[in-house]
Amino acid sequence: MINIKSIWENQKPTGDIIIKTRIDEIKHLNCFAATNHITGQHLFIMSVSKNIVIPELKYYRFKGVEIFTIKVENTIELNIYLLDNDLKEIFSLFIQNVLEDIEKSITENEAITTTLNVISKWKKLFDKINFNGLSLEQQKGLIGELLFLNYLLDNEKTNSNAVESWTGTEKDFEAKDFTLGSVGVEIKFTSSKQPRIKVSNERQLDAENLKELFLILYSTEAVKDNGFSLNSLVEQTRQKIVSNDERNIFNGKLQTIGYFDNDIEHYTKMYSLKKTFAFIVTSDFPKIIKSHLPLGIYETSYSIEISAVEKFIVEPAHILEQI
């Protein structure tokens, strides 16, 4: 596997403003990892023949990244240039995705088309990043997911692939918050005095393509001290992740959601955990899914009373037994 982040980190000054390292693992294409020695900004460069037609790139530009071409003698260089150094982690994941996909391509034309397709997918993610910080509801959702991620990290059976199983951050909008093999887990977090399950849409409790689907509800209360905050959970999680590569992936996923360390002053609200509910979502669990809806109805949100689903309660450990 090509480790683009490692290539950037190991680049040494050459006297030039742009330091370039050829990515030798992709032998049939001229690809380079580059760094602006003055600003520290990273680039990915693909050099192709001058007769290769590259579409207009204005529709591929997005926040924090510039994409452009340069004519160099008998070649054209496609440049993907990181403008915002705060996005280095997610940019590494983005370029890693480009490399993995173009490695399978045969011609330069195919490599360019593949690269632009990957750019289109990641553009949606970059455009969704909230540079002004997460809303309170988004913070609560992330706290709930981090609580469960820590539960997986604390368990010997799941700690090695816990970060990978956190799929709620991925591009596929139908992904469950966590996917462990054929087992899906949806996470809910509430600080209400009367806890209930708030479901955002008809996809969340749809077990299609899964062997089992579980629902976790963390019931909490807001406290002034002696509790946990979003910031403390992020740091706790980072400390539990042993591998540097996994920690980098975790940081990239945080940035995909919109959590940046520069915003930590906004994430100090503290909570105390009162109770953890775990439910198995069977066919008779009260829910609304796509197949239940009339044609033309979508994005349905609703709430479920805890008393209505008590018979579906299981121990959290039961989830791990199904993996």
Instruction: Tell me how far CA of residue 97 lies from CA of 26, 62, 102, 117, 317, in angstroms.
Output: 14, 17, 9, 11, 34
Q: What is the pTM of this model?
A: 0.66
* Residue numbers of the chain with a pLDDT score lower than 70: 59, 127-132, 171-174
Q: Looking at the domain that runs over 4-128, which CATH code has it been given?
A: 3.30.1460
Domain parsing of the chain, residue ranges: 4-128, 136-321
The predicted structure's pLDDT at residue 135: 87
The predicted structure's pLDDT at residue 175: 78
Helices 230-240 and 136-153, packing angle to 10 deg: 30
The predicted structure's pLDDT at residue 2: 82
